[in-house]
Amino acid sequence: MVPIDLYAFFSSFVSRPFPWLHMRLPQTVVPVHYDLTIHPNLTTLSFTGVVRIQLDVLEETKAIILHAKQLKTFNVKLKTSEGLRSLEVIENSVYQQLALLSHEVIPKGRDYEVHMEFAANLSDSFHGFYKSSYRTSSGELRTLASTQFEATFARTAFPCFDEPAFKANFTISIVREARHIAISNMPKIKTVALPGNVFEDHFATTVKMSTYLVAFIVSDFHSVSKTTQHGVKISVYAVAEKINQTDFALDAAVKLLDFYDDYFNIPYPLPKQGEHVVRLCISFPCLFVVPADLAAIPDFQSGAMENWGLTTYRESALLFHPEKSSVTDKVHIAKIIAHELAHQWFGNLVTMEWWNDLWLNEGFAKFMEFIAVNATYPQFQVNDLFMGKCYTAMEVDSLRSSHPVSTAVENPTEIQEMFDRVSYDKGACLLNMLKDFLTPDVFEVGILRYLKRYSYKNTANSHLWESLTNVSHSCARRRNKKNSAQNTSSHREKTYFDIKTVMDTWTLQKGFPLVNIDLKSRKLILTQERYLMTEPVWQIPLTYKTSDSATTHHHLMRNAVDLFRVPNGVDWVKFNVDMSGYYVVHYGKEGWKNMIKLLHKNHTALSGKDRASLIHDAFRLVSIKKLGLETALDLSAYLSKETDIISVTQGFQELLPIYKLIQRRYQESVELKCRLTGFIWHLFKHLIDSQSWDDSGSASERMLRSSLLLFACVRNYTPCVTKAKHLFNLWRDTDGQMSLPIDVTLAVYAVGAQTEEGWDFLFEFYRRALQTSVQTRIRIALASSPLHQKLKWILEQSLLGEVIKTQDLPHVLVSVSRNPRGHRLAWDFLRANWQTLIKKFEVGSSSIARMVKGVTGLYSTKTMLSSVEKFFSSLTVEMGSEMRCIQQTYDAIHENIRWGETNFSVLQSWLKKQMTRFIHEDL
């Protein structure tokens, strides 16, 4: 617990001191049940409510401490066996707490209930109980109210014990007008007509859960429904004119929930509510079907939210039009639904005790989304996308300003900052590494035991490791006994180790290891160090293959130095097979020579994932001066004959940032940019030229086609521009009625946005479009335009929020910043509108971090570093000066400067020597 700043503490109230001096609530009083009635007024954009909280008093006290923020509270009373008595209320706005003071001691061990009335305005942000709106095709503006309580915003909607460990049951009632419907976590059980032509919907009592999972929506949504094989009714809600775009989400949710029911061997948890319900359904036709609702909210900051029984989504994360949406949209929607439904077990049923272990929720959900979608939609080949999550995590985790997966947090800003790539992507990659090392079967049994043992409870890291260790040891004993009886052996034989000891090295320290490989004759020498600094030592579950065999071998590296032997005649050893582990491998000078020779001679000797990981590791090692840029470029040169989508994508992801860095920093060096462009073109032209302008092929082939054609057209490749311009003119001449192949629309729109007339047409089409997927592609195209005034205008429109919704501003701002004509404009916009942005998106949120890092991430001069430091150092703490993303920005710019100083001349020299090998194109 963190002591309060005394000046802020005593100045935050007038009458008497606040009786509690800590950010975290005391454990003396805990909630058991909430009876909540709330009445939003969508005309005045305000709400009123009443909450009755049944309490368990664990220690006698004269003060009940709970959370409230920006709420007016009144008529606060304590119900005891003797009747009702008034409580005095004082507020600590610094810690967002209320103290309900009793003149008499409240003894422990009795039944108590607090009654409170409250009122507030609907929030203008995307958190708490907030207003959302949309326009119909006729232009009518309609308003709704929705909730987003994670992580610390339930307290802005009703007084509550707003920490994840304070689980309770909730009985919710919502007052609404006749023109609206209300939905919440549980099914509606009755509606009561009230005076004033309003109605009160009563919902069944929830299971025991945390406050951040409570949800309710008042709207004019329509819905479609289906029932799973396990008897769970699933409904998808959306605005009326978009309800025809919900079919894929509904089918996906049914498939995925059935998969999870079977995989976890624990029924969808909400049916556990109330034995009387189960008995009723056995005896009579079931009138009470437990729901798993999904709602598409017109204004939504994040991608989606796992509220128990009522998951909420950004429209683009849920709505799919079969004739307008792309295969990328379909994969994206399936993954997000899989993520939120996985949370119904990981996060909702079993919840982290405190936000320091958020990764137990988010890392597991991210990990399971790939497991589930791969099982239900194998044609999407999402396993090929998983390794990209490890690379994006490493990008953040390689900075000195990174943080451990499990790290101490106290205040709301620090909690918000935990929702980052480390908690999500690194958490998922660590779980995948552990699954691979333990074997999938052992891992699955271990996590199922974890879920069953801690259902409706809160957990910490150690509880997960204990479950997995017990299962691992049990399986190892059985395997060893079997091998002994059969007189056989296995590389996993006698595998007894404490998973907590292993995994603490991964979750309690930041960064990741670099494993150095030295192959001398048959002797393989391994040393480990931190990617940036050398203090920590990890216990690393290594995997490797050799030129001698396709078998994947496993080895746990426990110390800083390790040694073992390989068979005679081994030419190469490839570690981190298919990027199953979260570490970088350095093969040494001779080892890299062997890998380069192998890739140029017979690259298919390694899997596509292994080739991609070699590309990734080589360029990461260049960044820390462990490997020369020439070596990484020599290795990447093999890509001219590469067709594997994973490897091609990784090549782009390593070379394009270098190009953009050169493009911004060395604007006078036209020759270098042309040579680098020529090299990139030499590698990928064959793939670009082979692309058809249609929607044929597998999901991954179609996603690659869209990216390649956009890349070529934005960089003015003549054949691509000519084709795209022709299609754009045909499409515009039909007022957008002509059907374009979906995979080519990004390229076509981007070419169209190069002129003022084309840009204006696209914007008007955006205004009329009812498909969010179409709008997303148009936004990307508009932000790629070279027209400076148009870029400025689209930023202003995004902030205004009438046509381009403000929820999309972070995406628009980052897209403009990536445009060579817009990066200074984006920085000026960020500074000029900082106050508005932090009010709308909240200090510490992932949206703010995305804008800060996205706008500044490619700056590479001391002048721009000075500008960035000057602005952020001028902020106060309340304005976000201490956010982690600011320090990460400083780290990234310093790294860009150092990279340029180290490698600029090397790149010039290498490209000059290799020019005769490149294919020249008139670009």
- Look at residue 10 and tell me whether its pLDDT is greater than 80: no
Q: Quick one: pLDDT at residue 287?
A: 40
Q: Quick one: pLDDT at residue 67?
A: 98
Gap between the terminal Cα atoms of the chain: 61
- Look at residue 283 and tell me whether its pLDDT is greater than 60: no
Residue 9 and residue 839: Cα distance in Å, rounded? 23
| Structural contact between residues 235 and 224, judged by C-beta atoms closer than 8 angstroms | yes
- All structural domains of the chain: 21-220 (2.60.40.1730), 353-479+496-500 (1.10.390.10), 788-922 (1.25.50.20)
Q: Tokens 């929720």 appear where?
A: 361
Q: Quick one: pLDDT at residue 282?
A: 35
Q: Quick one: pLDDT at residue 110?
A: 77
- Look at residue 285 and tell me whether its pLDDT is greater than 50: no
- Look at residue 484 and tell me whether its pLDDT is greater than 90: no
Q: Quick one: pLDDT at residue 571?
A: 85
- Look at residue 277 and tell me whether its pLDDT is greater than 50: no
573 has which bridge partners? Answer: 546
Bond from prior residue into 365 cis (ω within 30 degrees of 0): no
Residue 748 and residue 457: Cα distance in Å, rounded? 52
| Structural contact between residues 80 and 112, judged by C-beta atoms closer than 8 angstroms | yes
Nearest alpha carbon to residue 428 among 492, 381, 383: 383
Tokens, residue 644? 């594997």
pLDDT tens-digit readout, 179-189: 999 999 999 99
Which is the catalytic residue, given 340, 369, 642, 654?
340
Q: Quick one: pLDDT at residue 284?
A: 35
Name the 3-class secondary structure at 626: coil
Q: What is the mean pLDDT of residues 598-605?
A: 94
| Structural contact between residues 584 and 620, judged by C-beta atoms closer than 8 angstroms | yes
Q: Quick one: pLDDT at residue 570?
A: 83
Tokens, residue 732? 């515009």
Q: Quick one: pLDDT at residue 231?
A: 87
Backbone dihedral angles phi then psi of residue 197, each to the nearest 5 degrees: 60, 40
Tokens, residue 597? 């020779």
Q: Quick one: pLDDT at residue 921?
A: 43
CA angle, 574 as apex, 568 and 580 as ends, to 5°? 135
Residue 653 and residue 890: Cα distance in Å, rounded? 22
> Does the annotation flag 230 for ligand binding?
no
Residue 223 and residue 292: Cα distance in Å, rounded? 12
pLDDT tens-digit readout, 329-345: 999 999 999 999 999 99
Residue 686 and residue 292: Cα distance in Å, rounded? 47
Q: Tokens 């020439």 appear where?
A: 630
Nearest alpha carbon to residue 36 among 270, 277, 190, 201: 201
- Look at residue 830 and tell me whether its pLDDT is greater than 70: yes
| Number of CB atoms found within 10 A of residue 246's CB | 22
Instruction: Determine what percent of the chain is predicted with pLDDT higher than 70.
Output: 92
Residue 664 and residue 653: Cα distance in Å, rounded? 17
Q: Is 276 exposed, middle or buried (0-12, 13-18, 19+ CB in 10 A)?
A: exposed
| Amino acid symbol at 855 | V
Which residues 6+ apart lie within 8 Å of 761 measured at CB?
732, 736, 752
Q: Tokens 């043992």 appear where?
A: 453
Which residues 6+ apart lie within 8 Å of 371 measured at CB?
263
| Structural contact between residues 208 and 34, judged by C-beta atoms closer than 8 angstroms | no
Q: What is the mean pLDDT of residues 157-164?
A: 98
User: For the chain, how long is the longest CA-to-CA vector?
Assistant: 94
pLDDT tens-digit readout, 668-712: 577 888 889 889 998 999 999 999 999 999 999 999 999 999 999
Q: Quick one: pLDDT at residue 278?
A: 36
DSSP state of 621: H
> Does the annotation flag 362 for ligand binding?
yes
- Look at residue 271 and tell me whether its pLDDT is greater than 50: no
Helices 718-733 and 756-768, interaxial angle, to 10°?
A: 50
pTM summary value:
0.93
pLDDT tens-digit readout, 775-826: 999 999 999 999 999 999 999 999 999 999 999 999 999 999 999 899 899 9
Q: What is the mean pLDDT of residues 750-764?
A: 96
Q: Is 456 exposed, middle or buried (0-12, 13-18, 19+ CB in 10 A)?
A: middle
> Does the annotation flag 682 for ligand binding?
no
Pairing label, strands 141-148, 188-194: unpaired
Q: Quick one: pLDDT at residue 478?
A: 63
The mean-pLDDT minimum among 534-543, 551-560, 804-813 falls in: 534-543
Name the 3-class secondary structure at 135: strand
Residue 65 and residue 4: Cα distance in Å, rounded? 15
Q: Is 898 exposed, middle or buried (0-12, 13-18, 19+ CB in 10 A)?
A: middle
| Structural contact between residues 918 and 678, judged by C-beta atoms closer than 8 angstroms | yes
Name the more confident of 277 and 466.
466
Q: Quick one: pLDDT at residue 317?
A: 96
Residue 521 and residue 716: Cα distance in Å, rounded? 51
Q: What is the mean pLDDT of residues 351-357?
A: 96
Name the 3-class secondary structure at 118: strand
pLDDT tens-digit readout, 73-120: 999 999 998 889 999 999 999 999 999 999 999 999 878 999 999 999
Q: Quick one: pLDDT at residue 667?
A: 57
Instruction: Determine what percent of the chain is predicted with pLDDT higher than 90.
Output: 81
Residue 340 annotated among the catalytic residues of the structure? yes
Q: Quick one: pLDDT at residue 482?
A: 58
Q: Quick one: pLDDT at residue 314?
A: 96
Residue 854 and residue 823: Cα distance in Å, rounded? 10
Name the 3-class secondary structure at 837: helix
Q: Quick one: pLDDT at residue 1?
A: 39
Q: Quick one: pLDDT at residue 673?
A: 85
Q: Quick one: pLDDT at residue 479?
A: 60
Q: Quick one: pLDDT at residue 234?
A: 95
Torsion sign across C-alpha atoms 835, 840, 845, 846: negative
Q: Quick one: pLDDT at residue 519?
A: 84
Mean pLDDT, rounded, of the chain:
90
pLDDT tens-digit readout, 209-232: 999 999 999 999 999 999 999 889
Q: What is the mean pLDDT of residues 643-657?
A: 93
Q: Is 570 exposed, middle or buried (0-12, 13-18, 19+ CB in 10 A)?
A: middle
